[in-house]
Structure 1
Amino acid sequence: MTAVPGSRRSGPRWHLREATAALHAEADRLGGAHDLSTLPGYARFLGVHARALPGLEAALDAAGLAAMLPDWPRRRRAAALQADLTRLGEPVPAPLPVPPIAPGAAALGAAYVLEGSRLGNTMLLRQAQAGPALAECGAFAYLSHQPGPAGWAGFLALLDQELPDPGSWAAAADGARLAFQVFLDALRTGVTPAAPHPQDIPRVAVS
């Protein structure tokens, strides 16, 4: 779908959605391989995100995103990820290196990917909490993280405000594609599979 000026689906959000559609679909495909209802699957899911998210957040800090997005510090989730992995007794993997992100439109494009990644978290949280080995662990700070009252709608409103000129949308798309690529690199390389937890080892009946 191509955004048509003056239509209901014109503006930076729709340009970014179209520009990243293929990358988004690939990320969904690879991410769907994790079984969040088991401890090893959930730990691998968190580990993959811990390889991608902290470096992206640090790059956006360096790009001065907080100057455009005042509640950016509240939206950051790297600490929540680390807390969940620590609670599970899992090592926190080294983050992937992230190229510098240009200030302005590119930074907002990368932030669009990070903020958009929250949208399915309610469903993922239900999947994780449905696992008997995970229901009582309490390691859900990442999936239950809330960005504050502005939320997704507030971010989209700011995107429209900051990027009214279509001439800036290409740079925003570059930032969004960079963010997706970091997540895809993390998904493709994965993390070393964790050893099975006792709760996940099948019981063998002994006669």
Structure 2
Amino acid sequence: MAELRARLRQATSPLHDQVDAAFSEFSLEQPDDYRRFLRAHSRVLSAAEIALERAGFAALLDDWPMRVRRHALYADLVEMDCPLPTALSLPLSDFASCWGVAYVLEGSRLGGRVLARRIRQANPTAPVRYLEHGDVARLWPAFLTRLEQDAASCAWEPMLAAAERTFVLFAEAAALEHDCEYG
């Protein structure tokens, strides 16, 4: 049942590891690093969600409105008096590539609750709407079911290329924010 998920996970594992390494350099207990972390995520998440909406992906995933996180992320950044960054570019050519991008986005929410707890221990008033967004216990399994049912007939190459591109964008966004200074 989880054949497509396993293929995507195996094929993107090296890039996933690179992204994890890039984001582990942010000390989320430090407000400036947390801002940079959120800004890096915003650069990719905003571009990806908007691109998915423009491609009509919401018609394939009927619970899309519950999955959209960019507004929670924007609210966290605004609360931290942090300017919204420019979104990176993520063009989508077909539904196969939409599934690849969505796979990365949905997977990215899995560690959010753990990170939110860590941040709240250091700063109980830190905004964590983005990291706590959605019912992960329901959204992730529901997404995987839809991925296996609806994306299995899609072309593999564009799906994989889009997933890889999304991971690369997350790594690039982290690198952009590592060097930023905010007051």
Q: Deviations over 1:159-195 (max 9, x none)?
A: 0101334x72222211211211211110122162223
Residue in structure 1 matched with residue 44 of structure 2 by the alignment = 52
Taking the aligned partners of 1:121 and 1:144, their CA distance within structure 2 comes to: 6
Are 2:147 and 1:156 equivalent residues in the alignment?
Answer: no
Choose the corresponding residue for 1:179, options 158, 166, 173: 166
| Matched residues, number | 182
Equivalent in the alignment of 2:119? 128
Distance in 1 (CA, whole Å) between partners of 2:38 and 2:136 is 22
Q: How is 1:1-207 mapped onto 2 (pairs within 5 angstroms)?
A: 11-98=3-90, 100-131=91-122, 134-137=123-126, 139-146=127-134, 150-165=138-153, 168-190=155-177, 192-195=180-183
TM-score (norm 2): 0.92
The letter for the 2-side match of 1:189 is L
Counterpart Cα distance in 1 of 2:124 and 2:145: 36
Q: What's the offset of the Cα at 1:112?
A: 0.3
TM-score by length of 1: 0.82
- What is the identity percentage for the equivalent residue pairs of Structure 1 and Structure 2? 36
CA distance in 2, matches of 1:117, 1:148: 10
Q: Distance in 1 between matches of 2:108 and 2:149?
A: 21
Larger Rg: 1
**Which letter does structure 2 place at the counterpart of 1:102?**
S
Say which is worse superposed, 113-122 or 142-151, in terms of deviation: 142-151
- Give the deviation of 1:126 after TM superposition: 1.2
Moved segments of 4+, more than 4 Å: none
Q: Which is richer in helix? A: 2
Question: CA separation in 2, counterparts of 1:164 and 1:49?
Answer: 28
